[in-house]
Structure 1
Amino acid sequence: MKNKFLACAALLALAGCQTPAQQSVADSQRPPSSAVRREYVDALKGTIEAGNFLKAEISSVVLLNPEKQIYAYCTRTTERSNPNWSYIGLGLQHNMILYLKKDDYRCHDKRLRYYDFPELRNMKY
């Protein structure tokens, strides 16, 4: 228990060192397409229990790196076992996932818009 607390404290300290997203990145926000929503749900099928989410939201898609055409978006959910928001950040290049990061600090940016995500909340196996 003590080790978990220390690990969480260290992660929070490191998260505080991150710089906020550039304004141009925040300005590039576009609502997530139905394809983005569908692919995310399809990727999770069979890995989590269907109907486990009480709330589910997906963020706008932003262009992180114009030269490399890297896009990113976030999801946030609350579960029956945890009423607090859980965040996941994803980076995409050429429709391939570059990274998937739990509690990505960029997902907490107040400028990022979130949309209801009923496809995830109502997901079936």
Structure 2
Amino acid sequence: MRTTVLLCAAAITLAGCQTPAPQSVLDSQRPPPSSVKREYVDALRGTIKPGNFVKAEISSVVLLDPEKQIYAYCTRTAERAYPDWSYIGLSLKQNVILGLSKNDYRCHDKRLRYYDFPELRNMKF
């Protein structure tokens, strides 16, 4: 009985574990080009209140899938009402956003470089 409980606890613990991004992905880090920044700001325009962010950063762009030429990057923002970082992970192909995920665990990887993102902080309507 004790062994069964321990095995179940181990399985639950492992199921909750998420591996960090592979080093090969992180080795492909490049600063985000202005086209990526512009696309992101344009996608948010009209969906959030301008001036709401007190802090905004964008990560390096990494090559997520070399065969399909899919890239990924993250943004982290802090709002006046919510001062803790909020993370969004995005994937893109040919500078077009394919998908996004809120609080993507890969965005928390300490090896990922972040840059100031004044274009988002100073966004206008």
Matches within 5 A, 1:40-59: 40-59=40-59
Aligned residue number for residue 23 of structure 1: 23
Q: Give the secondary structure class of the aligned counterpart of 1:39.
A: helix
Q: Distance in 1 between matches of 2:102 and 2:63?
A: 19
How far did 1:39 drift? 1.0
Q: Distance in 1 between matches of 2:87 and 2:14?
A: 17
Larger radius of gyration between Structure 1 and Structure 2 = 2
Aligned residue number for residue 117 of structure 2: 117
TM-score, L = length of structure 1:
0.86
How far did 1:15 drift? 8.7
Residues 61 and 72 of structure 2 are in contact (CA less than 8 Å); yes or no, is this contact kept in structure 1? yes
Aligned residue number for residue 96 of structure 1: 96
Aligned residue number for residue 108 of structure 1: 108
Q: Give the secondary structure class of the aligned counterpart of 1:30.
A: coil
Q: Distance in 2 between matches of 1:85 and 1:14?
A: 26
How far did 1:96 drift? 2.5
Structure 1 unaligned spans of 5+: 1-12
Q: Distance in 2 between matches of 1:98 and 1:19?
A: 22
Q: Which amino acid aligns with 1:19?
A: T
Aligned residue number for residue 67 of structure 1: 67
Which stretches of structure 1, 4 residues or longer, exceed 6 Å deviation after superposition? none
RMSD across aligned positions (CA): 1.5
Q: Give the secondary structure class of the aligned counterpart of 2:84.
A: strand
Q: Which amino acid aligns with 1:75?
A: T
Structure 1 residues 118 and 84: CA distance shift in structure 2, 3 A: same
How far did 1:95 drift? 2.6
Aligned residue number for residue 87 of structure 1: 87
